Structure 1
């Protein structure tokens, strides 16, 4: 692409994942190669704004942690650049006729970074541990359809299911479902990762950098192009641009469009990629005044989402409803207040007996993504006009994640990752047994039933209709206030080739990236 210009990567239609027959086997995967003439070797320095808060893949929610871990660990399935589900550590899979068994054939010759072999016992142990509530794995709800896991031979894993689960192959592709070596512990892996991914951990300097070394025994065909990847912690995006201009950093992914414009005005290449993630004001319906749906609806009606987008992100994005995956996308006009309506907001407050106003204690992350504080300040200003006081508490990224994970907030200004399947995005939040339901603060029998139907249905049109009902339930009860989806801006210096930005924000294609 031309230097200093923006380029959209992929049309939204390319993101659509055909889930009809999703439980049927796949047998091949496509990986983009590095650019013609690119040479292997060298260290690629990636600028990031926060240090990973964990190196244990089953509990990672922070974006920076996920981006590091997906280069250290492997999963049974993977996403390709268009978010199609393709083989990973499982080279194929096949559902039984009644959809109650899913049989996965594992790759042979795969080893962990400690040299031990990966086989079906490791896969069974990993899935069993993820499903064990005591593990507190963040993806546990994604395996809710799995009754048991069997390993009849070293190359075969059989999942016994309660019924068909159209979302399962996609759910297995996230790093929160990483395959670990049997018996490895969280304590050990928190300092000494042991995965099957394209890189291994070389060293870590807390709050400064984490460096990965190429795994020459990586199973995925061609070995990674770069000999090492260093994630260098630089607290703000503008400083990362300066580091790129001076030649100290070669790649970074920005959230702030103003920073991206500054980078693109020089000699840095910038690629603009629409994202499935969504900016949201999370409301905890188990706390204080927010227990009353009328207070939550008042908040919904008092916010002009386009104003938040324009103020915080220069209009770079689009107002969104709950579901951002193109095949299931929500219509943001289908909500009680599709536009700002202060009269309706006042009416809802009066109905709640709060005509004099309410105060909502709100946590905000600083460092995990660039637009958070600006979003929070705009929301505070807008809601003040409706006698709703957002009492903001700005936290560094790690502290925010801790408070968020403990559901220790009334409201939270957040950026949540989106997925190509709605069950993966929301099943863990809004079902009564979802492992993040405490964080979500809301569930209902209607939502439990709809999510169960969504998993059990393989017809694409029927699934879309089900998740339209899910979206309506979430909006009509103002469970959260969905704001907008934006872009990421991938900045690279001259000589960097082969990186593929993805709509889910993944940095998995660092494995194909070379630095000249």
Structure 2
């Protein structure tokens, strides 16, 4: 944990970051010539299998793990993180520093090029961030730029980010996040999303790889981008591919038969256990930042703002009753064989500022309490059983999602307080419909960067990623305030208070906290290098 020094050193190293060690951002990166994947590429191609899906290759149109995994291979960032570290380092940047309390100034490396030969300069950087805010796609990550007032490009290698909150402790990490991929301003339109195939055809790539062939959610083939000059360096493999599976059974079978080199999201707990017994395979685990929630839509849930019987107090009582009834430990043990642990807060345990307010506020000592649920509903005058439409996704969040939500349904209905209508939808459709059509639904969160703020701002700021109608002016104010708090103890206290505040409102109901798991052939090298706290999977570190 980096300590914060008093004051700000202008035109020198970036200010000390309380929750972020911003190593490598104030001068040439320690590894500008290449990350852990650098060096002469081996001749053996690498194939990774996954059940995750790509929503879009356009960074403005997707905010999901499957899409961002591909973007990390093909797009450059102003700042990125080396494999093995969550800390921002220079990618396109030659230097990055606060030059005033509200100005973060970046100097780009000179002579950068896109894979198609176009110049890659400050105009592309300004264009990329302006474009995120202009399009503001409901499935996109533009909410991460809530603290950016504007971005300027005074010359070809200088970018100045003007911020609303001074000394933002999270902004360098934001530049490494899903809102951070830089796109070619000569290819992408400024005000609309670009089709995947048009991106591929234009070779609009500036990351470690280019896409050689693209069959969406079937097979993507990559080759090295020789124009890339960033922190990741040259890949350790000559070629790589991502193969997509409709279900975990086929993913398990193909890694078991050595038809793919790595299986990465989402195998069942039973599959992981079985594959760990295979002599030809290794199970690799990394630090976990995943949270799984139920999200409530404040407009369409029972007694929501746009329902015929809208009533804010009754709507809150419904959410409180659900919080009293869920049995997280039963879900973790019975469904996931304790590969997940119960989550009683909005920030995972292990992050600075994480507390467990839900354990104290709902149920009894973390266990369900039907009497408290019944009282919450009765006190608000809610008739029972409450009819609740609940949606989940069986492919993106793994095949155990069906068992998970069947158990949630059973827990809610056990005492006659709820009548749950449980349905499932395939991921690509689910991503589009969840922001408007689902009163309550499953969501899994994979952090954009390693800071508690990333579990708070995207969910609870008024213009949030969920688009679920939640607003709280006091929460908005404290979210902004904590970003600029340079004192570690002060910021930690704010993060703790934010968790208590949103636990009272219950716009989401956290259930489980998970970890990163990959299964690979024993001849595959480098897997452990990418299962780090940046939560970015790098194809470029893999070799055999």
Distance in 2 between residues matched to 1:287 and 1:177, nearest whole Å:
32
Structure-2 residue corresponding to 1:4: none
Structure 1 stretches of 5 or more lacking a match? 1-16
Structure 2 stretches of 5 or more lacking a match? 1-16, 305-314
Structure-2 residue corresponding to 1:481: 509
* Secondary structure of 2:73 counterpart: coil
Distance 1:304 1:289, change over 3 A: same
* Secondary structure of 1:279 counterpart: strand
Distance in 2 between residues matched to 1:206 and 1:122, nearest whole Å:
26
Structure-2 residue corresponding to 1:430: 460
Distance in 2 between residues matched to 1:32 and 1:76, nearest whole Å:
15
Distance 1:154 1:215, change over 3 A: same
Structure-2 residue corresponding to 1:294: 317
Distance in 2 between residues matched to 1:442 and 1:428, nearest whole Å:
12
**Which string of whole-angstrom CA distances, capped at 9 and with x for unpartnered residues, describes residues 63-88 of structure 1?**
22211111111111113423122222
Alignment of 1:163-312 (within 5 A): 163-164=165-166, 165-183=168-186, 184-185=188-189, 186-187=193-194, 189-193=196-200, 194-220=204-230, 222-255=233-266, 256-266=268-278, 267-289=280-302, 291=304, 292-312=315-335
Contact 1:25/1:95, CA 8 A, preserved across alignment: no
Structure-1 residue corresponding to 2:353: 328
Question: Residue 137 of structure 1: CA displacement?
Answer: 7.3
Distance 1:44 1:447, change over 3 A: same
**Which string of whole-angstrom CA distances, capped at 9 and with x for unpartnered residues, describes residues 132-187 of structure 1?**
25566723222222222221221111112223121111111013321111142332
Distance in 2 between residues matched to 1:44 and 1:88, nearest whole Å:
24
Distance in 1 between residues matched to 2:18 and 2:263, nearest whole Å:
31
* Secondary structure of 2:94 counterpart: strand
Distance in 1 between residues matched to 2:480 and 2:38, nearest whole Å:
44
Distance 1:135 1:412, change over 3 A: closer
Distance in 1 between residues matched to 2:424 and 2:139, nearest whole Å:
27
Distance 1:377 1:503, change over 3 A: farther
Distance in 1 between residues matched to 2:85 and 2:539, nearest whole Å:
16
Structure-2 residue corresponding to 1:470: 498
Contact 1:336/1:476, CA 8 A, preserved across alignment: no
* Secondary structure of 1:260 counterpart: helix
Distance in 2 between residues matched to 1:29 and 1:139, nearest whole Å:
29
Worse overlay, 298-307 or 120-129? 120-129
TM-score by length of 1: 0.89
Q: CA RMSD in A?
A: 2.5
Question: Residue 246 of structure 1: CA displacement?
Answer: 1.9
Structure-2 residue corresponding to 1:362: 390
Distance in 1 between residues matched to 2:122 and 2:227, nearest whole Å:
19
Aligned partner (choices 76, 79, 98) of residue 78 of structure 2: 76
Distance in 2 between residues matched to 1:365 and 1:137, nearest whole Å:
16
Question: Residue 125 of structure 1: CA displacement?
Answer: 1.3
Distance in 1 between residues matched to 2:285 and 2:295, nearest whole Å:
27
Question: Residue 238 of structure 1: CA displacement?
Answer: 2.8
**Which string of whole-angstrom CA distances, capped at 9 and with x for unpartnered residues, describes residues 430-458 of structure 1?**
12233x2523x312111111111112222
Distance 1:233 1:339, change over 3 A: same
* Secondary structure of 1:420 counterpart: coil
The runs of at least 4 aligned residues of structure 1 exceeding 4 Å deviation read: 20-25, 29-32, 133-137
Question: Residue 380 of structure 1: CA displacement?
Answer: 0.5
**Which string of whole-angstrom CA distances, capped at 9 and with x for unpartnered residues, describes residues 297-334 of structure 1?**
00000011111111221112322210126123232534
Distance 1:306 1:501, change over 3 A: farther
